[in-house]
Amino acid sequence: MLDEVEITKKIVESYMQDLLSYTSVDVAIVGAGPSGLTAAYYLAKSGMKVAIFDRKLSIGGGMWGGGMMFNKIVVQEDARHILDDFSINYERMGEYYVADSVHSVTALTYHATRAGAKIFNLIGAEDVIIKNNRVSGLVINWSVIGDLPIDPLSVYARYVVDATGHESEVVKTLVRKNNIKLNTPSGEIEGEHSMDAEIAERAVVENTKEIYPGIFVAGMAANAVFGSPRMGPIFGGMLLSGKKVAEEIIRRLQ
């Protein structure tokens, strides 16, 4: 006999075990788009305890929709090895590699979670913890509460990654609430520029950095913070940025 209340208890028990276990992590990534998922995979594979928080029900960020809802993504030669690491199928078209965006999101997600990264969907990062002038964790809350005045909970992290895309939400909050200077030319958020795929794809890897002690930017958030252009539906830079942030953090933590 299937018992409805036993099913309920299993869900609550198992989720609470995860939540408790992930109150202290090596790396807390905000945003389960392509850069966050790629970072999570390489970090988890190297043995790091990694949690990704995404406020949406479905993860994948801006990758699902390909370009203008044509659900294909384009990747350049430099990043092809990452498609291979994730066993993503692709077709060569001239100098580009083209993959199905739904297949790509699911492959990134499958490999990241199979390597041990834990995704908490429907949970947003609304702030960071700062101790001794260093970001030391995240302040999280259910995204579905909307504007209800409900206090959040907190998670310690040795490093935080802002992979929230164009909005660079975590860094924005960090700057708004604290009298700090970022590791950018002006010390402020420079703001995203209009599209130039060639420059943007190089910049997104270059801009993947520790922006303030304890917090890195990756993916489109890195270009938004450093004042670089957007690139549209070419995704090699997102994958390379995710890999770079993982490698930088692994180097520091090992």
Residues that bind ligand 48F (CB under 6 A): 30-36, 53-56, 61-63, 124-125, 163-165, 167, 169, 219-221, 230-235, 238
Pair 214, 131: CB distance under 8 Å: no
Residue 1 vs 164, nearer CB to ligand 48F:
164
47: left (phi over 0), alpha (psi -120 to 50) or beta: left
Alpha helices in 22-168 (DSSP H): 34-45, 80-85, 101-114
Helices in 60-193 by DSSP H: which ranges?
A: 80-85, 101-114, 169-177
Q: Report in angstroms how near the CB of residue 3 gets to ligand 48F at its nearest.
A: 35
- Closest to 138 in 3D by CA, of 117, 116, 160: 160
CA distance 85 to 37: 13
Cβ-based nearer residue to ligand 48F, 43 or 221:
221
CB of 178 to ligand 48F, least distance (A): 17
Question: Which C-beta is closer to ligand 48F: that of 32 or that of 79?
Answer: 32
- Please state the separation of Cα 175 from the chain's center in Å: 19
Token readout for 79 is 């990043």
Closest CA to 214 of 27, 15, 8: 27
What is the distance between the alpha carbons of residues 105 and 107, in angstroms, rounded to a whole number? 5
Q: In whole angstroms, give the CA distance from residue 15 to residue 116.
A: 15
Output the smallest distance, CB 219 to ligand 48F, in A: 2
Q: Is 196 helix (H, G, I), strand (E, B) or coil?
A: coil
- Shortest distance, position 221 Cβ to ligand 48F, whole Å: 6
Comparing CB distances to ligand 48F, the nearer of 63 and 182 is 63
Task: Using the minimum distance from each CB to ligand 48F, give the nearer residue, 54 or 248.
Answer: 54
Closer Cβ to ligand 48F, 167 or 247, answer by number = 167
Nearest Cα neighbor of 243 from 222, 226, 214 is 222
